Amino acid sequence: MTVVDEIPGEPSDTRGRVAELLSLREQARRGPSDRATEAQHAKGKLTARERIALLLDEGSFKEVEQLRRHRATGFGLETKKPYTDGVITGWGTVDGRTVFVYAHDFRIFGGALGEAHATKIHKIMDMAISAGAPLVSLNDGAGARIQEGVSALAGYGGIFQRNTRASGVIPQISVMLGPCAGGAAYSPALTDFVFMVRETSQMFITGPDVVKAVTGEEITQNGLGGADVHAETSGVAHFAYDDEETCIAEVRYLIGMLPSNNRENPPVHPSDDPADRRGDVLLDLVPADGNRPYDMHKVIEELVDDGDFLEIHERWARNIVCALARLDGQVVGIVANQPQALAGVLDIEASEKAARFVQMCDAFNIPLVTLLDVPGFLPGVDQEHGGIIRHGAKLLYAYCNATVPRISLILRKAYGGAYIVMDSQSIGADLTYAWPTNEIAVMGAEGAANVIFRRQIADAEDPEAMRARMVKEYKAELMHPYYAAERGLVDDVIDPAETREVLIASLAMLRNKHADLPSRKHGNPPQ
């Protein structure tokens, strides 16, 4: 029998091997150095593991491929082979529900993506899809690892493919906690929600240096692609916060409003807010005069459980409000015109914002409640040349394609094509209600009278008196609150104070709604 000599320095028994394993794990958890950690903190940023600890329930994180290292050579890489390869992957729970996560570790190669790094992300994405659980990416990386060349770029391709395959199947949430430049920015753009932190996170395809070289324009990183820019101007970011702790806490809150996958319903949270609570304040909150503005947020607060809702894209396209809330414990998606901004008209950005929100709600079994107070589409050369026709059609397509329960409520104005697009009964709303202050018409009475009675007004001895008379006549004939109800275009005209009770009862009736779409590979929505 041959005796194998022991290799000096290697443990010879199981206990020794376990001790070695624990040492390697501790090395991987600690990261490259205390100095690197201090540098991360000095930038006002947390480490990847600190972020994961904030996101997931305490003690629930299970790491995958902690000891993975790259195999690349050249440019000094063969001497730098840290464990994790700059990305931490695994799963845990948020409020007891399974969530998968990957987090770039900026302390290692600046969080840059190489072949091994990408393979780890691919694996955790595949696991999330297979398990039917949300995926959260904590992004803080410097793009592709240049030293690994095209292999790094191919790694991004694999991420994009999986983002697309997971779309509408599991919730995907991107949390931007550092730089994200070039092709790397397309992964967040493919996900359902993008969170950003002011001052520390930026997203752009070409950075300030390239912009200056090509166009001569000088701009800072935050000015080009910071959190406020994407939350207010581009619409790329759904949420922007001042610090990482608040941002990640809001990610947890959002996850609690979403189902784990498209085969489940969102979590139900029993509410102490009575389903039959009257909202008498609504009688005074919304002026009967259609020309007077009011804050739609206050209407939503009065209707939903405990006045609590999460607004999506709060600072972009403010003329429309998109929010997740609960009615009698059930999650609903609310789409509402905002009279305080541009009088609540639909324009290009509002149409895009609402269309994406409607699609998300439909994908994840979230019923839709639409609150209408819309004077029409925004007129103007810029809007027409910018494609308001095709952009408005996106919202129309999204509603027509949605199979979740759909309830619309007309508070005041509902004019022209904007009335049809905002989930009218004619495009498939399950139930349509109206307040006694509603005005449903092709256009406002003044404009209609000027068109219909143009000749009579021009020939009258007192044109202004004739115009006022014709406006009054048009309103009496075609714009009284019960005109649409008499023709079956509104299911009921309700007391505003009873709106919450009516919505909850209607949603309960529609809870088991089943609707089949025609058999097809996929539609071809307007772009």
Catalytic residue numbers, as ranges: 182-183, 417-418
Sequence letter at residue 293? P
Sequence letter at residue 123? K
Of the candidates 231, 189, 191, the one whose C-alpha atom is nearest the C-alpha of residue 316 is 231
The tokens for 433 are 């209600």
Contacts of 196 (CB under 8 A, 6+ apart): 176, 203, 226, 227, 230, 231, 237, 239, 240, 241, 247
| 172 burial via Cβ count (<10 Å: 0-12, 13-18, 19+) | buried
Distance CA 127, CA 309 (A): 31
Distance CA 526, CA 394 (A): 6
Please work out, in degrees rounded to the nearest 5, the angle formed at the alpha carbon of residue 514 by the alpha carbons of 510 and 517.
130
3-class DSSP state for residue 503?
helix
- Residues recorded for the chain: 527
Distance CA 70, CA 83 (A): 9
Torsion of CA 392, 394, 399, 404, to 10 degrees: -150
- CA-to-CA separations, 527 to 27, 125, 234, in angstroms, rounded: 49, 28, 17
Of the candidates 58, 54, 56, 49, the one whose C-alpha atom is nearest the C-alpha of residue 28 is 49
Distance of CA 196 to the CA centre of its chain: 12
A 10 A CB-CB count for 123 gives: 15
- Upper half-sphere CA count for residue 228 (Cβ side, 13 Å): 7
Sequence letter at residue 121? I
Q: Which residue has the tokens 């994790």?
A: 84
Please work out, in degrees rounded to the nearest 5, the angle formed at the alpha carbon of residue 510 by the alpha carbons of 504 and 512.
125
Q: Which residue has the tokens 């509902």?
A: 414
For the chain, the farthest-separated pair of C-alpha atoms sits apart, in whole angstroms, at 124
Contacts of 49 (CB under 8 A, 6+ apart): 29, 31, 88, 103, 105
Distance CA 292, CA 382 (A): 26
- Upper half-sphere CA count for residue 234 (Cβ side, 13 Å): 17
Torsion of CA 36, 38, 44, 50, to 10 degrees: 80
